Structure 1
């Protein structure tokens, strides 16, 4: 099981049980220990790997404890301090981490409430823990771009030097992304002033500020929507193509759900539905969208023309650690293409459109989908 799959499993556990957790000790048992064992791969019951209630005398401070110390190759490498889930994390919570960081070999410190994990190191001064984390992992909304860095702290792939070398860039990229997200959601005065003074020639008075706050918020939202639509236009293959990105479209969601045929004992995931929407958006320039139907099976999620299993458009192989898109050639031989994320389906828009056009020009019967093969640059069935 890859780290992304392990992280998603823990995220599901947190969502399911978070409301029932009321103490710090329950948080450690329910979420923090599974993070150390399930995600990072250390044996929480082996004191040579995970030391609970880790003690190290710090100056006049004797017998102070930190929740967990993680050892690798006999050396303490990571310190973990846990707080109760739902409690906001503040730097004041990390006082023991600061003290222990200076007297142990650990180069990584983690402050967590079981759902949000803040990772610290000593970028600003040697052997002194930074005041700001270089990586923040939120299991309520996992940023997949951070998982390769997290993997470097796992037992099987531990690479401290690589983590430290990437920490500086991660620290500032993460902070910039969080600042941008906050500004897009609720713009601050400095952000409003920065943009307003570039389009408005008058003085930036309180009246002008009040006028431009909603304009800045609206402009940034429209900018994001237009970026998404530009990508969809390219995928659909025409400058006139347009797809609304509004999330408040229940009639569209119902249409998608009605177009999905599910076998018994099969659970259709939101990720599979997202993939189906993308495939259908790509091919709707060739055929009426109502003719593109999905059929979910136990091993893959199929997209068919006219609900006919002799006319497969694509298969979504998402029920595994690595995602694949199955595409078909003239003989209906399936080739599985690896995907890093669902949006990568757009890169294969042309082959999907060609597949649909072949069915539209076919006469007579058709044979079933053939075997799976691997071409140059493509990955066969795992």
Structure 2
């Protein structure tokens, strides 16, 4: 397995020189400064690739090549957006980048209510607190019907939190929920989010699936021609939020996606944390079921609470059997190697580390500190060494 490290380019306080000290050989990167829907020019890609390769790395995976909201909603003349996406893919392939991670989450990317929740022994982690999300939806956003999406006890706790929360507490909650995608150009206040949600009125699970099918039908043939592996990232969290449907949350969703356009180019980013936040998901079993279509892996762990809350755990802690999961990935690599595939190696990266020691106060992108992820990489490296010795 290829050790990689997510690096945010000009948005990242961690330098490539520091990343080199982790021992990772691949970089996961994107041109976050380019607005969604616009073409990634070959010149811009080449400049970033030169920076990465000049530091001694390979640009292993693009994460992400974002999908414009109009494609997700299926509105307007989408032909120019699809053409721009295909052009960006062709430019990436021309510069030697052939794995593209993306997601189909409506409006928001990963969502947390706390960016610095304390962890036992010191340090902080990302956390999704069900009652705080409910407080945001019911009392701050005032979304119609939001009460029906949460159990009564969570709604009661949400009301109590909201009554006691200061204006600063509410602003902090909004900022946390809006943090998920560094470089994204849409940052909403409460009123702006209300307006943005109106654009999804009438779009349920079935409609979003059909819009996704159209995206795959437009993009996967180009990926086949270019030798690109597209790999969808699961929803995070794997549940409907803000009244918006999530359609990449479990094994059934993944089966639908991979079957919508049958192609090796239509693949999966196996994110053990996103899938692991759904109590119904057996992550190693999902990995085994779709092993031949896994093109990239995010290896992290979460600890879940009965009310739907969860937080980032240590990579060897949490609710997912990480040893069993890594064994599945190594077995798939061996199968590909035995089949004579030149691309048998699965890139992976540690994900959403705790902020530890000098991470605290260093200003790293939330979830992407130096020491916390280095600890995760070391633990994963140990699993791989033990299973392959």
Question: Could you say which TM-score interval applies, normalised by the shorter chain?
Answer: under 0.3
Larger gyration radius, structure 1 or structure 2? 1
TM-score (norm: length of structure 1): 0.24
TM-score (norm: length of structure 2): 0.24
